[in-house]
Amino acid sequence: MKSEDFDKCRQFLEKAIEISTDNGELLKVYLRLIELKSEYDKETDKAWIEKEIREAEFNTQYQTAVHTNNTDLDKAYHTNNTNYGMAVSQQQGENYRHYQTQVHGTAQSAMQHGVWPPQVGHGGV
């Protein structure tokens, strides 16, 4: 029962009891009205509390999912960055090794064909 309806009924019964003070039936109806309002309020409060509990449980589940997703995202981000850094380092090492091999090959070829060391008076220094 809504509070406005309850107040209207209560006020009506209180006036009727004032007018007919010897009518016991009005008093019984008044008491029953109070009992019904108490039961209604108790059920309403119970439903409200249950709703609050469901909302809190949902919020907890939501926050847990968000935290888990953020953690997984952070782990993937750091794994990708680590893998990228390792790949870059490995590629730089391979590039340097290739460069050194080319330099060695060039020097080896120059020495085999008599270009190195330069000869004085033969177009060298």
Residue 124 reports pLDDT greater than 60: no
Q: Is 119 among the domain residues?
A: no
Domain count, the chain: 1
pLDDT in tens, 50-98: 999 999 999 999 999 999 999 999 999 999 999 999 999 999 999 999 9
Q: Is 64 among the domain residues?
A: yes
The range of the structural domain enclosing residue 51 comes to: 3-84
Q: Is 52 among the domain residues?
A: yes
pLDDT in tens, 2-54: 788 889 999 999 999 999 888 899 999 999 999 999 999 999 999 999 999 99
Q: Is 94 among the domain residues?
A: no
pTM > 0.75: yes or no = no
Q: Is 19 among the domain residues?
A: yes
Contact yes or no for 8/31 (Cβ under 8 A)? no
Q: Is 26 among the domain residues?
A: yes
Q: Is 55 among the domain residues?
A: yes
Q: Is 9 among the domain residues?
A: yes
CA distance linking residue 84 with residue 81, whole number of Å:
5
Contact yes or no for 33/9 (Cβ under 8 A)? yes
